[in-house]
């Protein structure tokens, strides 16, 4: 059984070696987890042991999780939080379809009124509610809950449906972008290469192999080493990437961009944010609250030589950009607009790459706000858009 599991991991492009697989078998035979009888293994024990032995880099955890779950059928969740919540709270019994007249009749609350109303609902509500336009529940027109329709509400639990929530009351796990993603085309690399600048730097030397061969041949076979100054890539890139939420639809394209950037730029620093940059960013999505990097520290650490590139779809509530406490995940002490202004001031050479089709930008108020804050330096994630962005950053 486990031999096929090994091949399943290799098919998922996980760098698992035969030596590591044999180590897993030895650990199982030695009874590291549970009895030696295979029938008595706990699926959780097997998962943790296999991940510990076979996966050497945290960036592969997501690939491993998907491969493990796909192979051991019926395993939908092998790790993570489990909450003691009745299933009927999580099961959506009704998706209500509203007429245009009903949609127009739903009142659009302001930010302060929305938060105050939620506080009162939490104090008053005693049980589960489905449908309706007041209580926290599912399938209705209330601004609180999930699965219904409201132009500007707070999603509590459930999955995003209309993408109009201004705040989300749930813990979400994002996965890191995979920098080893294979590119289906060389176009992204070619576009990024427009930014590369090389310079001869004295002092550090490297072997000039063609000239050494010619000189050795001309010297009757006696070795004659020829050295030249090392060719260096002087471009420094600071990459800030939006992750989670509406960006899930663009994972494949952003991973291609990330892989190309890692391959093309020797001096590349990257961090993640969600929707808008606030007072901290992170490098590991599974530990985004435990291992935070203060945005002020980022500004102080990297000098003006760095080219600042944001990657995000700029789709969010305007509150997230313009208001204190507008973040969907926590009460940010300063608006996102303040941090975008500080970053663009600290790094004069900056651009925003947007994976959302450019034809849709005009319909998103948040996109227009971000464009204005970026001085219109927003470009689509297309070959032409990347070339224009790289040309701007090269000036």
The confidence score (pLDDT) of residue 93 equals 39
- Cα separation, 118 vs 98, whole angstroms: 23
Q: State how many domains the chain has.
A: 4
Contact 282, 292 (CB under 8 A): yes
Domain of 340, CATH number, reads 3.40.50
- Cα separation, 120 vs 105, whole angstroms: 23
In this structure, is residue 281 part of a structural domain? yes
In this structure, is residue 330 part of a structural domain? yes
- Cα separation, 141 vs 148, whole angstroms: 6
pTM of the complete model: 0.54
Residues 355 and 224 in one domain: no
Residues 302 and 223 in one domain: no
- Cα separation, 121 vs 144, whole angstroms: 9
Q: Among the three residues 36, 71, 106, which one is the final residue of a domain in this structure? A: 71
- Cα separation, 94 vs 96, whole angstroms: 6
In this structure, is residue 79 part of a structural domain? no
The confidence score (pLDDT) of residue 159 equals 54
Domain containing 217 equals 201-232
The confidence score (pLDDT) of residue 196 equals 64
- Cα separation, 393 vs 372, whole angstroms: 18
Q: Among the three residues 71, 102, 122, which one is the final residue of a domain in this structure? A: 71
Q: Among the three residues 47, 71, 95, which one is the final residue of a domain in this structure? A: 71
CA distances from 60 to 40, 51, 167, 351 (A): 28, 10, 30, 29
Residues 224 and 251 in one domain: no
Residues 137 and 227 in one domain: no
In this structure, is residue 177 part of a structural domain? no
Residues 264 and 139 in one domain: no
Closest CA to 259 of 191, 352, 178, 192: 178
pLDDT one digit per residue (tens) for the chain, 395 residues = 678 888 889 888 888 888 888 888 888 888 887 654 444 567 778 888 888 889 887 778 888 888 888 887 644 443 334 344 444 443 443 344 445 554 454 455 555 665 566 566 656 655 554 555 554 455 555 554 555 555 555 555 555 555 555 455 455 566 666 555 444 445 677 667 766 654 444 455 677 888 888 888 888 888 888 887 665 567 899 999 999 888 988 988 888 888 888 888 888 999 999 999 999 999 988 877 788 999 999 999 999 989 999 999 999 999 999 999 989 888 899 999 999 999 999 999 999 999 999 999 998 999 999 999 999 999 999 888 888 998 899 88
Contact 64, 51 (CB under 8 A): yes
- Cα separation, 48 vs 53, whole angstroms: 9
In this structure, is residue 179 part of a structural domain? no
Q: Which two tokens stand for residue 291?
A: 């291992």
- Cα separation, 395 vs 389, whole angstroms: 10
In this structure, is residue 175 part of a structural domain? no
- Cα separation, 131 vs 98, whole angstroms: 12
In this structure, is residue 155 part of a structural domain? yes
Residues 228 and 238 in one domain: no
In this structure, is residue 181 part of a structural domain? no
Residues 31 and 161 in one domain: no
Residues 212 and 320 in one domain: no
Contact 263, 237 (CB under 8 A): no
Return the H-helix or E-strand segment holding 207.
strand 198-207
Residues 367 and 264 in one domain: yes
Residues 34 and 112 in one domain: no
Which neighbouring-strand residues pair with 308?
Answer: 238, 350
Residues 239 and 367 in one domain: yes
Residues 311 and 344 in one domain: yes
């Amino acid at each position: 059984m486990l031999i096929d599991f090994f091949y399943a991991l290799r098919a998922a492009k996980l760098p698992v070696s035969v030596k590591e697989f044999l180590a897993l078998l030895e650990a199982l035979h030695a009874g590291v987890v549970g009895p030696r009888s295979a029938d008595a293994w706990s699926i959780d024990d097997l998962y943790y042991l296999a991940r510990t032995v076979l996966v050497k880099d945290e960036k592969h955890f997501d690939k491993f999780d998907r491969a493990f779950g796909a192979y051991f059928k019926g395993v939908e969740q092998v790790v993570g939080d489990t909450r003691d919540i009745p299933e009927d709270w999580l099961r959506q019994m009704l998706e209500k379809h509203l007429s245009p007249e009903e949609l127009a009749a739903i009142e659009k609350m302001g930010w302060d009124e929305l938060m105050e109303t939620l506080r009162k609902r939490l104090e008053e509500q005693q049980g589960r509610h489905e449908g309706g336009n007041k209580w926290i529940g599912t399938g209705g027109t209330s601004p609180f809950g999930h699965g219904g329709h409201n132009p500007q509400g707070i999603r509590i639990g459930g999955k995003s449906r209309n993408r109009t929530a201004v705040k989300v009351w749930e813990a979400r796990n994002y996965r890191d972008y995979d920098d080893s993603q294979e590119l289906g085309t060389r176009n992204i690399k070619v576009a990024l290469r427009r930014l590369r600048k090389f310079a001869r730097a004295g002092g550090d030397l490297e072997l000039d192999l063609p000239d050494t061969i010619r000189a050795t041949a001309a010297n009757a076979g006696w070795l004659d080493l020829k050295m030249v100054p090392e060719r260096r890539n002087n471009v420094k890139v600071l990459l800030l990437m939006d992750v989670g939420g509406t960006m899930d639809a663009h994972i494949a394209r952003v991973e291609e961009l990330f892989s190309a950037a890692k391959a093309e730029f020797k001096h590349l620093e990257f961090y993640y944010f969600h929707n808008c940059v606030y007072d901290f960013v992170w490098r590991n999505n599974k530990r985004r609250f435990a291992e935070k990097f203060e945005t002020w520290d980022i500004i102080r650490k990297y000098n003006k030589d760095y080219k600042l590139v944001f990657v995000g779809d700029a789709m969010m509530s305007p509150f997230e950009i313009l208001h204190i406490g507008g973040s969907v995940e926590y009460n940010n002490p300063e608006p996102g607009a303040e941090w975008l202004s500080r970053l663009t001031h600290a790094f004069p050479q900056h651009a925003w790459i947007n994976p959302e089709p450019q034809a849709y930008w005009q319909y998103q108020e948040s996109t227009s706000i971000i464009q204005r804050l970026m001085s219109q330096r927003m470009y689509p994630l297309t070959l032409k858009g990347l070339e224009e962005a790289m040309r701007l950053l090269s000036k």
